[in-house]
Amino acid sequence: MTESPLVSVVLGTYNGEVYLETQLRSVLAQTWGQLEIIAIDDGSSDGTVGILRAYAARDSRIKIVVNEHNLGFIRNFEKGARLSTGKWIAFCDQDDYWLPEKVEKMVRAIGDQPMIYCDSELCGPDLQPQGKRISDLVHYQSFDDCRQLCVFSRMYGHATLITRELFEKSSPFVEEMPHDGWLAFHATLFGSVNYFPEVLVHYRQHDSNVFGVVGRRRKGRKNKRKKELARIRFRMNAFYQACPGTLVPQKKLLGALVESYRSFSPLNDVRRVILFLRNYRYLLVVKRYSTFRKYLFCLKMLVKIK
């Protein structure tokens, strides 16, 4: 690579003064020379904006935008990506730590695909490693079929790098699901999601995480059943609408899932179980389960919504 195209790091912040400086220093220390950092603050009431401004005064790569009204983390990241100008976009949380070669290694490995993601080390609030990677908990691999990501997606925004073209094709984001899952689904419609099997992020786990590891919300933020069911229906409909008709098997399965989620009657529950049993190699690919456990998982949907 004779030139170094610009990479836009979109940093979303909200009341993050406790951990922000550690993350900022790790981003500024990246070995990839061409960076812009778009810091989008979503109306912090603590010292977050002051920290951003102090660093921006010392480093011209940092551009700060403070929202007049709280947008929520999905719209906040979308706004930051819209304001960025780089060939590639890397989403950045305010409380993690990036290894120095994160951006460079991912840029060199993405090839001609729209998205790549790396592994992450789970750490405590003080960034002390907990002895596990996310790949120890879920089946990390490359993905090239949207059926693999329509039910479960375990790629986290902090570990991804996407092309600007993917962002444009995936906009606008939908608020009913995290932007990383929405982007990953779209990446399989236009290419594949490459997996870079190396830890490049220390993923800090603490009480203020918006989302904890493996898709679990932090304590005290568990959705009520009615809202969760509405979210599942919306997600399946959104995926079905996004999938082009030229992908015939994928469109057919998504349409059948949409119908099975229209209601949670006993008949529809049975239909959904049958769909999962027939397509578990796609729908449950991210699960680190044996085939027997995957069958059990499908059968459990008779009594538990997935």
pLDDT for position 231: 87
Check which CATH number belongs to the domain holding 12 and give it. Answer: 3.90.550.10
Residues 84 and 203 placed together within one structural domain of the fold = yes
Task: Assess whether 129 and 30 both reside in one domain.
Answer: yes
DSSP string, 231-265: HHHHHHHHHHHHS-TTSHHHHHHHHHHHHHTS---
State mean pLDDT over 247-263. 95
Q: Are residues 150 and 240 in the same domain?
A: no
Q: Residues 143, 272: one domain?
A: no
Do 88 and 151 sit in the same domain of this protein? yes
10 contacts 90 by C-beta, under 8 angstroms: yes
Is there a single domain that holds both residue 210 and residue 230? no
Q: Is residue 233 located within the same domain as residue 282?
A: yes
Regarding whether 185 and 259 lie in a shared domain, the answer is no
First to last CA, the chain: 45
**Do both 185 and 239 map to the same domain?**
no
**167 and 293, same domain (yes or no):** no
Report d(CA 228, CA 131) in Å as an integer: 32
User: Domain residues for 246?
Assistant: 225-300
Residue 63's H or E segment, with its range, is: strand 62-66
| Global pTM value | 0.91
Q: Is the pLDDT higher at 268 or at 116?
A: 116
159 and 269 part of one domain: no
Strands 7-13 and 88-92 turn out to be parallel
Query: Per-residue pLDDT averaged across 99-116, rounded?
Result: 98
**Contact between residue 115 and residue 217 where contact means Cβ atoms under 8 Å apart:** no
- By the 8 A CB rule, do 283 and 150 touch? yes
- Domain count across the chain: 2
Query: Of 228, 204, 106, 88, whose CA–CA distance to 159 is shortest?
Result: 106
Q: Are residues 24 and 117 in the same domain?
A: yes
Does the structure show a pLDDT above 90 at 159?
yes
Average pLDDT rounded to a whole number, residues 45-61: 97
